[in-house]
Amino acid sequence: MKKVFITGGEGFIGYHLTKRFLAEGYEVITYDIQTHSIPFDKSNWPQYIIYRTESIKDERLTRVRGDVCDRGRLKTTLERHKPDVIVHLAALSIAGVSNDYPEEAHRNVLNSTITLMDVLKELDYGYDRIVHTSSSMAYGNFLRDDEGNIIPAREDQMCDPIDIYGSMKLAGEYIVKSFNHRFKIPYVIIRPSAVYGPTDCNRRVTEIFLRNAMDGKPLKLDNGGLHQLDFTYVEDLAEGFFLAATKKEALGNTFNLTRGEGRTIKDLAEVLKGLMPETEIITREIEVYRPNRGQLDISKAKRILGFDPKHSLEEGMKSYYEFAKAFEEGKR
Ligand SMILES: NC(=O)c1ccc[n+]([C@@H]2O[C@H](COP(=O)([O-])OP(=O)(O)OC[C@H]3O[C@@H](n4cnc5c(N)ncnc54)[C@H](O)[C@@H]3O)[C@@H](O)[C@H]2O)c1
């Protein structure tokens, strides 16, 4: 039986990835510090974390509590399990929090990557690859054409991050590539963006808006909500990760894995209003430091991986809403 080792595997994406690999017949080892970014987690739904840890009952799943920066424990765990594939998700995953706590971000986003790669270098069995998780924040402000329209970001364009999180993510990519160059560690790099869906409790815009709409609170659009994101349903991303972890052709590549469509925050609010018609949408003027983003070009992932994201924002938010409603009504 093949084995996958997922750092940060108890987090939002890790939960869906664990389910995906189990469904494909893999044995899964999650390696996670299991503090879930406390004290940063301001989640209204901490029970999602319990749901995530309790809802997968499978004897092929081993949960290890461990810090990726704890070199000894990481190495021992890897040597014991000898996974075929290592997926590195562990990070201080919320850009705003990383920007406020740069040393914490440095440790969990960048140092964790350095420690992991340095340990992989020393493993004496033939694992297949590491799949490293970067972010669309590595691009910085997306490029625009002469009419001011956002040009879909391509993997081969220059990255120019403007925040601490994006800078650490880009540095992590260079670390992975450097270890490949020097020590031949096989890798794939993934750049996701604006991931959303069931069990998210990381207080990103999709979760905040869904929760506010369900609680009858207004959805606040910053400066009219015209900022675009490439909202990506988490199960589509998990499928992309699986392809990146298993396809031979993926090796040595960086892939955007998103829906491949730029939608505004206003669109998101309107989708939610369609599901909950009483939702009030208001706008506020506010200074925004986030980079201007939008659609990512996913043609490379389509061509090489056969990546085919299924969920539009409308479909994905409907599923997410139905999950949250059922969860709240105690049906799950
Ligand atoms: N969710 C998104 O929209 C998105 C977008 C782009 C990139 N990403 C990246 O995807 C990855 C997963 O994101 P997520 O949304 O699942 O985040 P998450 O915060 O839900 O999961 C991250 C997990 O990593 C663990 N962790 C943190 N530091 C650790 C350490 N030093 N050792 C061991 N475990 C540690 C946490 O306990 C948590 O369970 C992250 O690298 C994130 O930066 C996420």
Per DSSP, the three-state class of 277 is coil
pLDDT in tens, the chain (332 residues): 999 999 999 999 999 999 999 999 999 999 999 876 554 555 667 788 889 989 999 999 999 999 999 999 999 999 999 999 999 999 999 998 899 999 999 999 999 999 999 999 999 999 999 999 999 999 999 999 999 999 999 999 999 999 999 999 999 999 999 999 999 999 999 999 999 999 998 889 999 999 999 999 999 999 999 999 999 999 999 999 999 999 999 999 999 999 999 999 999 999 999 999 999 999 999 888 888 999 999 999 999 999 999 999 999 999 999 999 999 898 66
Shortest-distance atom of ligand 1 to CA 232 = 3
Shortest-distance atom of ligand 1 to CA 134 = 7
Strand partners for 30 = 6, 63
Shortest-distance atom of ligand 1 to CA 69 = 31
Annotated domain spans of the chain: 3-193+234-258+294-310
Distance CA 144, CA 292 (A): 10
Return the structure tokens found at 217.
């609170």
Distance CA 169, CA 177 (A): 13
Orientation angle between helical segments 265-275 and 313-328, nearest 10 degrees: 50
Distance CA 123, CA 209 (A): 44
| Amino acid at residue number 143 | L
Contact in structure between 112 and 100 (CB atoms under 8 Å) = no
Distance CA 276, CA 44 (A): 19
Say if residue 218 is preceded by a cis peptide, omega within 30 of 0. Answer: no
| Ligand 1 probe mutation, 15, 89, 170, 233, most atoms within 8 A of CB | 89
Cβ(193) – ligand 1 distance below 6 Å: yes
Return the structure tokens found at 14.
């890790």
Can you give the length of the chain in residues? 332
Structure letter (DSSP) for residue 106:
I
Residue 325 neighbours by CB under 8 Å, 6+ apart:
214
Distance CA 254, CA 240 (A): 12
Q: Which residue has the tokens 């879909």?
A: 152
Cβ(8) – ligand 1 distance below 6 Å: yes
Identify which of 176, 195, 180, 224 has the alpha carbon closest to the alpha carbon of residue 137: 195
The pTM assigned to this predicted structure is 0.97
Ligand 1 atom 1: the closest Cα is on which residue?
195
Cβ(108) – ligand 1 distance below 6 Å: yes
Ligand 1 atom 21: the closest Cα is on which residue?
11
Shortest-distance atom of ligand 1 to CA 13 = 16
Domain 3-193+234-258+294-310 architecture: 3-Layer(aba) Sandwich (3.40)
Contact in structure between 237 and 16 (CB atoms under 8 Å) = yes
Distance CA 110, CA 199 (A): 26
Cβ(65) – ligand 1 distance below 6 Å: no
Cβ(135) – ligand 1 distance below 6 Å: yes
Shortest-distance atom of ligand 1 to CA 88 = 41
First-last CA distance in the chain: 30
Identify which of 159, 192, 235 has the alpha carbon closest to the alpha carbon of residue 91: 192
Cβ(10) – ligand 1 distance below 6 Å: yes
Cβ(117) – ligand 1 distance below 6 Å: no
| Ligand 1 probe mutation, 93, 111, 193, 201, most atoms within 8 A of CB | 93
Cβ(192) – ligand 1 distance below 6 Å: yes
Identify which of 69, 88, 66, 87 has the alpha carbon closest to the alpha carbon of residue 77: 66
Distance CA 146, CA 26 (A): 48
Return the structure tokens found at 64.
């290890």
| Ligand 1 probe mutation, 5, 7, 13, most atoms within 8 A of CB | 13
At residue 287, the pLDDT reads 86
